[in-house]
Amino acid sequence: MSIEIGMKHTVELTVAPENTAKVVGSGELEVFATPMMAALMEKAAYMAIAPSLPEGDSSVGCELKISHVSATPVGMTVRAEAEVTAVEGKMIHYSVKAYDERGLIGEGTHVRALVHSDRFLERTNNK
């Protein structure tokens, strides 16, 4: 496994009604929901390192600190970017940013932990 500082990934989605604050329950307006932006950022982060992980290993999100600085309407495309900024043992640190067609809408940091999928699920299911 070789996870290195600078590894990046970008994901996009077109904001649909099911991605709005009104539908996901984080507000009452029909704008791109903060929880959906967070999920898109996490997807970019996990995909940045997924090809480098051995079969049977994965990563799980354990910390996300973000700001959501601009609203995005339904129909506009949102792009989330994640870049590895540090590797500390099993902990992978990222810079995350999200943009719509007009510019920056959110940014922050994210930490993911490397796990062995089967052992992780076994411990979780034995709660």
In the set 34, 72, 81, 110, the catalytic residue is 34
The three-class DSSP label of residue 55 is: coil
Phi-psi region for residue 70, left (φ > 0), alpha (ψ -120 to 50) or beta? beta
| DSSP at 106 | E
Our answer to whether residue 9 is catalytic in this structure is: no
Q: What does the DSSP assignment read for 3-48?
A: --TT-EEEEEEE--GGGBHHHHTS-SSSBB-HHHHHHHHHHHHHHH
Our answer to whether residue 30 is catalytic in this structure is: no
In the set 9, 20, 42, 83, the catalytic residue is 42
In the set 4, 28, 55, 68, the catalytic residue is 68
Our answer to whether residue 42 is catalytic in this structure is: yes
Residues 6+ apart with CB under 8 A from 48: 7, 8, 9, 82, 83, 84, 94
Query: Would you please indicate which residues are annotated as catalytic (active-site) residues?
Result: 34, 42, 68
